[in-house]
């Protein structure tokens, strides 16, 4: 029962966001004169506090314990969910798929995010020689192909996350 609730919570945390598996962020500026970068405020399963034991901030430790208790999990299970989410997010961000065909003169490279954070459309001289209509069709086809391949990559990343959660839960003795 705990495993299914952990998996559901991990999936809900990752799939509920507008940009697939990206974190929502807001800019927090405490001292504008001294701070040049904004800080990112992360949501549940964000990996913001992966090791409570090493956490020196009692308030943050209490917040993590409260969040895990609210979800009906132990702190270790909550941290496992955060780690699993981070691993999946990294896998999707680092995924690179190519659609199209170099011989046709059009290729599209993208990551696994939807919409993509990394998108490179390459049109060679051979692609330009196709003419406007054929080039448009080639670009659209390459985009569709890359999108389908990235969906397969996202699905694989999610399967890997589930496998990671399952094996980690077995090691923890919770299954």
Rounded CA separation 6/78 (Å): 8
Going by C-alpha positions, the residue among 16, 13, 5 that lies closest to residue 85 is 13
Q: Are the CB atoms for 125 and 105 separated by under 8 Å?
A: yes
Q: Please report the pLDDT score of residue 54 as a whole number.
A: 53
**3-state secondary structure (DSSP) of residue 4:** helix
Q: Which tokens go with 95? A: 């995924």
Q: What is the pLDDT along the chain (175 residues), one digit of tens a residue?
A: 455 555 554 544 444 443 443 333 322 222 233 333 333 344 444 444 455 455 467 888 888 888 889 988 888 888 899 899 999 999 999 999 999 999 999 999 999 999 999 999 999 999 999 999 999 999 999 999 999 999 999 999 999 999 999 999 888 875 5
Q: Please report the pLDDT score of residue 59 as a whole number.
A: 84
Task: Work out the angle between the directed axes of helices 75-94 and 58-70 (0-180°, nearest 10).
Answer: 90
∠ CA 156-151-117 to the nearest 5 degrees? Answer: 105
């Amino acid at each position: 029962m705990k495993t299914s609730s952990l998996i559901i919570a991990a999936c809900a945390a990752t799939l509920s966001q507008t940009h697939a598996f990206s974190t929502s962020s807001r800019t927090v500026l405490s001292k504008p004169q001294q701070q040049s970068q904004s800080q990112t405020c992360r949501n549940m399963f964000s990996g913001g506090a992966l090791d409570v034991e090493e956490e020196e901030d009692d308030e943050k430790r209490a917040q993590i314990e409260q969040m895990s208790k609210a979800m009906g999990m132990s702190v270790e299970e909550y941290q496992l969910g955060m780690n699993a989410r981070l691993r999946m997010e990294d896998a999707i961000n680092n995924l690179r798929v190519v659609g199209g065909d170099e011989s046709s003169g059009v290729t599209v490279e993208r990551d696994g995010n939807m919409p993509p954070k990394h998108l490179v459309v390459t049109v060679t001289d051979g692609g330009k020689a196709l003419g406007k209509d054929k080039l448009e069709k080639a670009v659209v086809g390459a985009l569709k192909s890359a999108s389908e391949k990235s969906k397969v990559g996202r699905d694989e990343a999610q399967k890997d996350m589930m496998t990671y959660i399952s094996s980690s839960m077995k090691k923890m003795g919770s299954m």
